[in-house]
Amino acid sequence: MPSSPAASPSARSVQLTGAETLFMVMNSGSGRRNCEATQQAIRAACAEAGRQCELIVVDRGADLPGAAARAVRMARQTSGVVVAVGGDGTLNAVCQAVVGQGIPFGVLPQGTFNYFGRTHGISQDTEQAVHELLSARLEYVSLGRVNDRYFLVNASLGLYPRLLEDRELYKQRFGRSRWVALLSALVTLARAHRQLDIQLDHGGRHQRLRTPTLVVCNNPLQLQQIGIDPEPADDRDHLIALASRPVGTGALYLLLLQGMLSRMGEAENVISICFENMTTYLGNRPRWVKVAVDGEILRMRTPLQFSIEQQVLPLLIPRTAEPLEHP
């Protein structure tokens, strides 16, 4: 596995003056609000506070990496801040460019679930989030990593990426809401699914599983909402791998219901693994596999290397926020 660029000395030398220029990367396709109204709210709040901001707006997710790289270059030249405006997928794309560059990272959540922003006490109201961003404090947070890709919330393979693909199709037809997400999940789970034959190597253990999906989570809020409360052996940050034993459609519906009721931890078909580093091998040794990373579907070479990268992202959070403790 490649060494993390966040290990460079500059990653731990970020300082805040409270007067930094904000370079904001915005995905106009994310969120529930009108893009123009969001931009106006951002500019008005920055102008009121006497802070300079530059909005870099893209219309497609594919354009986010280039826009993020541009924002990072400008922030490095001016000792500025890079801010991602959008859902968890947008935040992820911008984060890839920021980690290891010695640049503060801010977020203005605009998506449907906003797990990352909510975990760190960041408001989902744009005006309030901007005002809190302008007086924010700095906190280093840990990121998950799968191969060479960081993730803020989760990474998964098997059934879960299929759920996300179908959910996106339903959102395009019926709009973005949690009810649409639930409807698409019910339809997807009704179909036949192939099982994954996987081997998980972690902490000196070798564990073989047959499961429809594997989800590796880096977000305590998401875990709490589905009712998973693992107890790690020490105070270091960890990742949590979740898998289910081979089950039929009825049992999958039951797992979905238990997750909605925050009781998935009680399900006898759910396997939970707490780890810092894990290698995942797939049966029949396919060279490439489809992986969902914070909602974005990618193809990755196997075996998959999962790890927790300790406190590598200098995140701006509200001064009054009390973030949830990490798994």
At the top level of CATH, which class does the domain 151-308 belong to?
A: mainly beta
Cite the residue boundaries of each domain of the chain with CATH code 2.60.200.40. 151-308
**Residue 271: what pLDDT?**
84
What is the second-level CATH architecture of the domain 5-143+311-317?
A: 3-Layer(aba) Sandwich (3.40)
Rg (CA), the chain: 20
Residue 240 CB partners (closer than 8 Å, separation 6+): 216, 217, 223, 228, 230, 272, 273, 274, 327
pLDDT tens for 158-179 read 876 676 666 666 566 766 666 6
**Residues 49-53, mean pLDDT to the nearest whole number:** 94
Residue 45 CB partners (closer than 8 Å, separation 6+): 127, 130, 131, 134
**Residues 71-83, mean pLDDT to the nearest whole number:** 96
**Residues 86-110, mean pLDDT to the nearest whole number:** 94
Q: Is the pLDDT of residue 126 over 50?
A: yes
Q: What angle do CA 261, 263, 267 make, to 5 degrees?
A: 130
Report field, pTM of the whole predicted structure over 0.95: no
Which structure tokens are listed for 136? 């924010």
The dihedral through the CA atoms of 319, 311, 294, 297 has a sign that is positive
**Residue 231: what pLDDT?**
58
Say if residue 303 is preceded by a cis peptide, omega within 30 of 0.
yes
Compute the mean pLDDT over every residue in the chain, rounded to the nearest whole number: 82
Residue 5 CB partners (closer than 8 Å, separation 6+): 99, 100
